Chain A
Amino acid sequence: MNNKPARGQSETPVDPSDPWSPKRPFGPGSVSIAIALLLLLGISFHRQGLDQSLVRTPEAADQAWTFIDRALPPRIEEAQRVERLKQLGEMPDADSLPMLARIERRPLNPIQPHAGTADFLVEPLGYLRRCVILMLGTIEMAFWGTLVAMTLSLPLGIIGARTMAYGKIPYSIGRGLSSLSRATPELILALILALMYGFGPTAGILALGLHSAGFLGKFLADDIENTDRGPRDALASTGASKLKVLRIAIVPQVLPQYVAYLQYILERNVRTASVLGIVGVGGIGLELKFAYDNGEFDKVSTVLIVIFATVLTLELISQRIRQRIIR
């Protein structure tokens, strides 16, 4: 008989002489642990400077207003000086201007109207279009990253599932590699990979793939371990090989959840790929960094809106797909 109390329960019965008396939900031990944890939390709050920040919150709110004031309305149009475009040799002929584009005389600096005027090539939807095109590249990067992650996660998940019984060494390799890849941040991976492949989408794709393979591999291994034993044992007892049992008894059980994870990883990779641009692997992140560094917060808000719209759209699409697959 196992007489140990359930976890989280105190061993002291309310009345020790009565064998039927129920156990207390908590005792002096758990109360002192709770107090100690609260104390630690308090010390850490101070160490992190959160107490001072709390005092400064009204000031911080003012700063937020400054940002919002400069970020709104978001930049939609693109205006480039004709003179500069001519220098670069990128000025289109007057009769072959891009769609909706026009040449307009504008002040050189909107804040100082007396500083003079110049000709500008104005594309009313130009900046938005640029962001959308950059976003498309970012989505492609996330998609390839997810594909790499999927390919790597299948072997990792299968050998990392204890119930597949491939032995201790493959199990440790599967679990270990999954943990390692999860523990390495994408930004670091991207920087290392950029040394190998140069700054470009390849480094970004591999960074995303290697990092998210760890998540997918771990989730897959856990799911395989949690599958119903019965069907697995029943098919194994017919003499079917491990691979066949995997295909017929385990894949149908883990597939719906795996597809759900895959969709989450894709969504997450879109978000991360947007940030990865900052370290120079291209995509919309680089544009975000340029705009921020130049203090063009109206451009920043356009980029953020495009990212937000993309993630939202992706979520809506993936919900539809999930409903079809997981029945």
Chain B
Amino acid sequence: MIHFQGITKRYVTHDAAEASAPALNGVSLLVPRGQFCVVLGPSGSGKSTLLRTVNGLVIPDQGNTTLNDTRVDRTTIAAIRRRVGMIHQSFNLVPRLSVLDNVVSGALPDLPAWRVMLRWWPGELNRTACEWLARVDLKPNYLARRVSQLSGGEQQRVAIARAFVNAPTVVLADEPVASLDPQTSRIVLRILRNAARQTGVTVLCSLHQVDLAVEFADRIVALRNGHVVFDDTPEKLDSEAIRSIYEGRP
């Protein structure tokens, strides 16, 4: 369960004229456990900022985010990050490492330092990583390949496995398919949603594609200029609602 309570965040910029508009302006939301919640909104509407308050990459100026009744602040960040997986638009895998090493790297905080230094992973973690690679539909012959040799869709599937390998309660997906073609996007989102359903993980996923949001989301939240302008099931997202999200009130 993620609870956003009156989140306001204003980025400090060097340009005085830009400083006036906050990225988030009093956003309150309750995302129940196991929900696949998609965040829509035009560029700069605050989607990424909202996601990043969950694992403390962004600390709000006002309001707070709680994760399963633990408030996200500087003292709890370390513990919370272990329970939150994250998927990024540009995959952010380590290019020169193998697929297996990249998946395992999602569990770094819980590993002893000497194992990390030697890159000598416990057998159980290796097995978990392999299970996840199978779940994201990658073949065993991919294990030792370098991720730089993989296609974009394959890399994002590795990144999904990395986000889930440490048994998170929440996975944040920050525009996970923005750099993929429509067909691959659908495959990647289906894998992500199925993984979340099977494990009961809450997913907060920002997207640019309305059709994909309608197809995969349990719930759609739309942001515009830092305000929530739509919050309902995908069926309620009609063309008028879409217009109001992307063009403002008609």
Contacts and interface: CB of A to CB of B under 8 A. Distances in A.
Given A244-B113, A247-B117, A238 B94 contact: no
A230 B137 CA distance: 24
B90 A235 contact: no
A288 to B, nearest CB: 43
Interface stretch (B64-72, B77-85, B181-189, B238-246): B77-85
A235 B108 contact: yes
A231 B78 contact: no
Contact of B94 (A231, A240, A243, A256): A231
A240 B55 CA distance: 13
Interface in B116-173: 116-117, 119, 159, 166
B91 A230 contact: yes
Interface-centre pick from A234, A241, A244, A245 (highest chain B CB count, 10 A)? A234
B101 interface: yes
A8 interface: no
A206 to B, nearest CB: 28
A266 interface: no
B44 interface: no
B78 A239 contact: yes
Nearest to A252: B96
B95 interface: yes
Contacts of B100: none
Contact of A230 (B92, B111, B116, B119): B92
B21 interface: no
Contacts of B3: none
B59 to A, nearest CB: 14
Contacts of A245: 108
B193 interface: no
Contact of A235 (B80, B91, B95, B105): B105
A255 B159 CA distance: 23
B97 A252 contact: yes
B113 A241 contact: yes
B110 to A, nearest CB: 9
**Chief secondary structure at chain A's binding surface:** helix
B88 interface: yes
Interface-centre pick from A231, A245, A253, A255 (highest chain B CB count, 10 A)? A231
B150 to A, nearest CB: 14
B105 A248 contact: yes
Contacts of A247: 116-117, 119
B113 A237 contact: no
B93 interface: yes
Contacts of A230: 88, 90-92
A228 interface: yes
Contacts of A131: none
Given A244-B108, A244-B113, A239 B81 contact: yes
Interface in A215-256: 228, 230-231, 233-235, 237-241, 243-245, 247-249, 252-253, 255-256
B55 A253 contact: no
Contact of A238 (B81, B96, B101): B81
B106 interface: yes
Given A249-B94, A253-B96, A234 B86 contact: yes
B57 interface: yes
Contacts of B77: 239
B116 A238 contact: no
Contacts of A233: 92
Contacts of A255: 96
Contact of A237 (B55, B91, B95): B55
Given A237-B86, A239-B109, A252-B97, A244 B116 contact: yes
B95 A238 contact: no
A238 B86 contact: yes
A240 B159 CA distance: 16
Contacts of B105: 235, 238, 240, 248-249
Interface-centre pick from B111, B117, B166 (highest chain A CB count, 10 A)? B117
A252 B82 contact: no
A234 B82 contact: no
22 contacts: A231-B92, A231-B93, A233-B92, A234-B86, A235-B105, A235-B108, A237-B55, A238-B81, A238-B107, A238-B109, A239-B77, A239-B78, A239-B80, A239-B82, A240-B108, A240-B109, A241-B113, A243-B116, A244-B111, A245-B108, A249-B105, A252-B96
The 4 closest A-B pairs by CB, nearest first: A239-B81, A230-B92, A240-B108, A234-B92
Interface of A: 228, 230-231, 233-235, 237-241, 243-245, 247-249, 252-253, 255-256
Given A231-B92, A252-B96, A253-B96, 19 more contacts: A230-B88, A234-B93, A237-B55, A238-B85, A238-B105, A238-B109, A238-B166, A240-B105, A240-B108, A241-B108, A241-B113, A243-B116, A244-B116, A245-B108, A247-B116, A248-B119, A249-B105, A252-B97, A253-B94
Interface of B: 55, 57, 77-82, 84-86, 88, 90-97, 101, 105-109, 111, 113, 116-117, 119, 159, 166
